[in-house]
Structures are given as structure tokens and as C-alpha cells.
Amino acid sequence: MGKVAIVTGGTRGIGRAISEMLQEDGFTVVANYAGNDDKAKAFTDATGIKSYKWDVGDHAACQEGCERVASEVGPVDVVVNNAGITRDGTLLKMTYDDWDEVMRINLGGCFNMAKAAFAGMKDRGWGRFVNIGSINGQAGQYGQVNYAAAKSGIHGFTKALAQEGARFGITVNAIAPGYIDTDMVAAVPEPVLEKIVAKIPVGRLGQAKEIARGVSFLCSDSAAFVTGSTMSINGGQHMY
Ligand code: CAA
């Protein structure tokens, strides 16, 4: 059996592409999801990848979820913190709930999953965290003070945890995707999205697989000397 990798939000969009690519790489992949049971079941039927439901924003649920995975599948060697939501709106229209939910899930989820998995990786002397940040956490984005703050937080979180993990064989890296062809980006109003795509030098949206390839590299043994880094995969939209 290969090393065990959990991909949060791993049944759809970028997460699905990551789950499938890590499976191709030989990992035993578990896809976490929070919402849609039917889509998760369809994903598991199509790929053979087990899906486990819990809310990454809930600290106790992450502990229980990782314990269940450890006992039913095996100890967790890789965590890809991919789960994320948007609650876009300009500051004056954004509610406190919009702020809290995005911080709780997008940033809190990384903390909760690290708390659940780090000690085991440390004991075994090997581990990988890959945290999915965003171009909008690097550059900001009109209408996303919550999302940009959470994603920017992920980049800081990554660098801090990388320093703690290095001596235990645990690497911690981030990927900052640009605009990728997923349901999340499809929800951006058409005229707004057109203007965004016009600013991407490569001239198109990215594909989920193009993010998954980066994750695949960062999870490999070849990336043992890469830690605390952010890989920007954005078609040249923000060169950072
Ligand atoms: N810069 C400056 N001004 C802008 C602007 C921008 N980027 N975008 C909009 N404005 C202006 C508009 O021109 C408008 O000005 P006027 O009132 O003078 O006409 C004003 O701001 C209000 O704009 P909207 O009508 O768009 O306001 P709204 O409240 O209806 O919608 C919004 C605001 C929800 C933020 C909408 O603009 C939007 O959805 N923007 C896209 C946000 C975005 O890119 N989200 C990314 C989602 S995908 C993702 O997050 C994945 C990832 O990691 C990349």
C-alpha cells in the first residue's frame, strides 16, 4: 500500500484533479468533502478513491476524520489543504458571517488538518503538506477582502509550519493558483471574468490538472529540499 494522502475538498474541481494525480503517483488517496454526498459517491464510484465527509473548519471533526482514516486506511503521510469557499462582495456589502465562514474554512481548515496530522508525520520522520493558496492572496482582489486575507494567511502559515517541520522530514509548501476553469471561477459574473482573462498573459484560464502536477511534484521524494515555498501557477497573471 502506498503512502496515505488526504486531499480536502478532494472530490470536485482542483481537488478532484489532485486526488486523481496522487493516485496515479501511487499514493493511497482519501478525498475529504463537506457537502454534496451524491457527487462524492459518483466520484468514488468512478475513481475507486474513498471519500470521507467532514467539515475542515471544525477542529474536532478534523481530529475524528483523520483518526478514522488512520484506522481504516492507514496513518496520514500527506495532507493537501485544498478545501475552500468564496463569499465575494465589496466590504460594505460583506457580512460578518461572510468573513467568518471564509476564515474558518479556508484558513482554519489548514490549522485544523495540520493539528490532526503533524504529530504522526513527526513520529514517522516523513510528511508532506501542500496548502492551496491563491493569486488573490498574493495580489488581492476587488470584492474579496475575506478570501484574500484567508489565502494570504495560508502563505504565512505555510512558511511558519515549514520551519517547524523541516527537522522531522516534513515539508510544507503552498501553491498559488491563478484563475482555473472550475465551478468556483465559473460563478464570477461573465463580464468581470472576461476582464480578468484579458489580463492573463497566457490568454486562457488554467486547467485543474496544471495545479495537480505541481502538487504531485511537491509530494514526491524529489521535492525533499523544497519547503516553505510558494509555487505560482497562474499563466503569468501575477509574477511574484
Ligand atoms: N477594480 C476597480 N473597480 C471595480 C473592480 C475592480 N476590479 N470590479 C468592479 N469595480 C467597480 C465597478 O466598476 C463598479 O463601479 P461603479 O459603481 O462606478 O459602476 C463597482 O466597483 C461595483 O462593482 P460591481 O457592480 O461588480 O459590484 P457588485 O457588488 O455587484 O459585485 C463583486 C462585486 C461581487 C465583487 C463582483 O465584482 C465580483 O464577483 N467580482 C469578482 C471577484 C473575483 O474575482 N472572485 C474570484 C473568485 S474565483 C477565486 O477566488 C479562485 C481563485 O483563487 C483565483
Measured in Å, residue 13 CA sits from the centre of ligand 1 at 23
Domain extent, residue 112, equals: 4-230
Q: What is the pLDDT along the chain (240 residues), one digit of tens a residue?
A: 799 999 999 999 999 999 999 999 999 999 999 998 999 999 999 999 999 999 999 999 999 999 999 999 999 999 999 999 999 999 999 999 999 999 999 999 999 999 999 999 999 999 999 999 999 999 999 999 999 999 999 999 999 999 999 999 999 999 999 999 999 999 999 999 999 999 999 999 999 999 999 999 999 999 999 999 999 999 999 997
Does some domain include residue 209? Answer: yes
Measured CA to CA, the distance from residue 63 to residue 209 in angstroms comes to: 29
Does some domain include residue 97? Answer: yes
Does some domain include residue 240? Answer: no
Total Cβ atoms within 10 A of residue 25 = 18
Q: Which of 85, 87, 90, 145 to mutate to test the pocket of ligand 1 (most atoms within 8 A of CB)?
A: 90
Query: For position 169, which CATH number holds?
Result: 3.40.50.720
Tally of domains within the chain? 1
Which residues does ligand 1 sit against, CB inside 6 Å?
86, 88-90, 93, 134-136, 141-144, 147, 177, 179, 184-185, 188-189, 192
Does some domain include residue 8? Answer: yes
pTM: 0.96
Does some domain include residue 199? Answer: yes
* Closest atom of ligand 1 to CA, residue 189: 39
Residue 49's nearest CA partner among 7, 85, 83, 78 is 7
Q: Which of 107, 132, 142 to mutate to test the pocket of ligand 1 (most atoms within 8 A of CB)?
A: 142
Residue 20's nearest CA partner among 68, 82, 105, 76 is 82
Does some domain include residue 239? Answer: no
Does some domain include residue 172? Answer: yes
Does some domain include residue 67? Answer: yes
